[in-house]
Every structure is written in structure tokens, then in C-alpha cells.
Amino acid sequence: MAYETILFDTTDAIAKITVNRPKALNALNSQVVDELLAAVEEIEKNEDIRVLIITGAGEKVFVAGADITELAKLNPVSAKHFASQGHKLMLKLESLSIPVLAAVNGFALGGGLELALACDFIYASENVKVGQPEIDLGIIPGFGGTQRLARIVGKNMAKEMILTGMRLSAEEAEKKGIVNRVVPAAELMETAEKSARSIAKKGRVSVYAAKQAINNGLDTDLKNGCEIEINSFALCMASPDANEGTTAFLEKRQPEFKGSLKE
């Protein structure tokens, strides 16, 4: 598929999607959301891709939020399409069998922060500002921000951020666990790619099993979470990767993981 609002490329086993609407500070209109969803569905079908990195074009902004020009004109039908595609996208990123890293290169506001929060983890450049400023527009976060942010920073901090619309610096976002690591802007992509290359060498099945166990376990209580881990562990043992990993260790060599989720 030809994309107009995103750049999509793959190098070795690592796919990169860049939200690319510089004139509107990479804001998410319905076309961007539809294209992101189509690209993620393309990635989902390609077993050769092992990690996805999402970033924004330019040095100033990751994504400045949902497109306010478009939001102002939504009617019930277009609002329903926008909302359902947006939620579908965020849930798909979360449940994708491969890890999704956000390389947040500037402002990540509103829907932009929500997009980053739906990724597995976030690296940020020093100039980053994050926030959920929807309250200033008379609305609330609409792509899961009230839920995902609260699960990361806790109930009271999420309320303070969402009710005041405050913007946090990269350093503050790191302290609150919203971003994993802050690096100089020039090092952001290399940091994300280095991490992606490291994950790409692991077993596809164990990476999938770990991601799903953490995500699904956090949606339930500890006892059921441990049950999820038991089943995820058993899934790993159904893959040749577990044998390869342990044998390689004992033979003092690097493992070569070839397991597939299709088996």
C-alpha cells in the first residue's frame, strides 16, 4: 500500500514507521490513523519483522495530538470511525506479537502521548515534552490515555496530568516511569535501533510470550497473572528455541533462534 502521511521502511528485521505531517506537527487525523493501522497490519503478516519502531518526522515533535482542525469538524459518523480506528490501532500495537518501541523525538501531546503509551516502551530525546492537554479543548483523552497513563503513573498523578493539562519535561517523564530513558536528540534513533537489534536476535516465541504475559497479567490479579505466566512458559517449551537456547549455553556458543509462531 502507498502511504501519504507516514513513512514506512524495513531494514533487516526492524520496521520503522515515521508519522510525517510536518505542517501540522505530525497531528493524527483519520488518514494517519488509517495508514498506521494498515502498516501495522502489514507488519503483522510478515514473520521476518521482529521489532517495530515508531517515531515522528523532524526534530521538534513526535506527534502533537489528534488533529484539532479535524476534531472540530467531526460529526457522529466520522467521530465513530475515528474513535474505533484509533482504539483498534492502540490495541493492535499492544497485542502485536513483536515489540513496539516509541522513539519520542519532541512534543508528545494528547493522542501523541497515547500513541507512545500503547507501545511497549519509550525512549525520549532531551527536548521532549509530554502531556494530555485535551482538557484545555473541553474534551478528555480519547485513545485510551485515561486508562494507560493511570496504569503507568498511578491514579493521582494521572488525574493531576489530565485535569490540569500540565506538560512534563523529558526528565520528569523519566522520573515518573513514562519514558524508559532520555538521551540527546542525536542519539535517539541509534538508541532505539540498538535496543531493537538486541531484541531481534532473541527467540520470536519467547519475546512474544514475555510481552503477552506482562500485558495480560497486568489486566488481572496476581494469582491469574501467575497462571498466565505458567501457560506462556509452556508455550516457550513448545518452540525449538528453548532447546536451542539452553543447548547453546551449555555448548558455550551463541544461540541461533529459528522458532516461529506459525508452528
Tell me how far CA of residue 67 lies from CA of 16, 72, 89, 131, 137, in angstroms: 22, 9, 16, 15, 12
Cβ proximity of 18 and 6 under 8 Å:
yes
* Contacting residues toward ligand DAK, per CB under 6 A: 24-25, 27, 64-69, 79, 82-83, 86, 107, 109-111, 133-134, 137, 139, 141-143
**C-alpha neighbours within 13 Å on the C-beta side of residue 232:** 21
Residue 182 pairs with which residues in a beta bridge? 124
Instruction: State the DSSP H helix or E strand holding residue 18, giving kind and residue range, or none if neither.
Output: strand 14-19
CA distances from 107 to 57, 73, 123, 124, 257 (A): 11, 24, 13, 10, 38
Q: Which is nearer to ligand DAK, 125 or 195 (CB)?
A: 125
Active-site option among 4, 134, 174, 251: 134
Pick 111 or 245: Cβ nearer ligand DAK: 111
CB atoms within 10 A of CB 77: 8
Among the listed residues 156, 94, 84, the one whose alpha carbon sits nearest the alpha carbon of residue 121: 94
Cell (9 digits) for 150: 493511570
The one catalytic residue in 42, 44, 114, 174 is 114
For the bound state, the minimum distance from the C-beta of residue 163 to ligand DAK, rounded and expressed in Å, comes to 15
4 or 221: CB nearest ligand DAK: 4
Q: Is 114 noted as a catalytic residue in this protein?
A: yes
Task: Please check whether residue 244 is in contact with residue 257, taking contact to mean a CB–CB distance below 8 angstroms.
Answer: yes
In the complex, least distance from residue 162 CB atom to ligand DAK, rounded to whole angstroms: 11
In this complex, which beta carbon is closest to ligand DAK, that of residue 82 or of residue 123? Answer: 82
CB of 231 to ligand DAK, least distance (A): 33
Catalytic residues: 114, 134
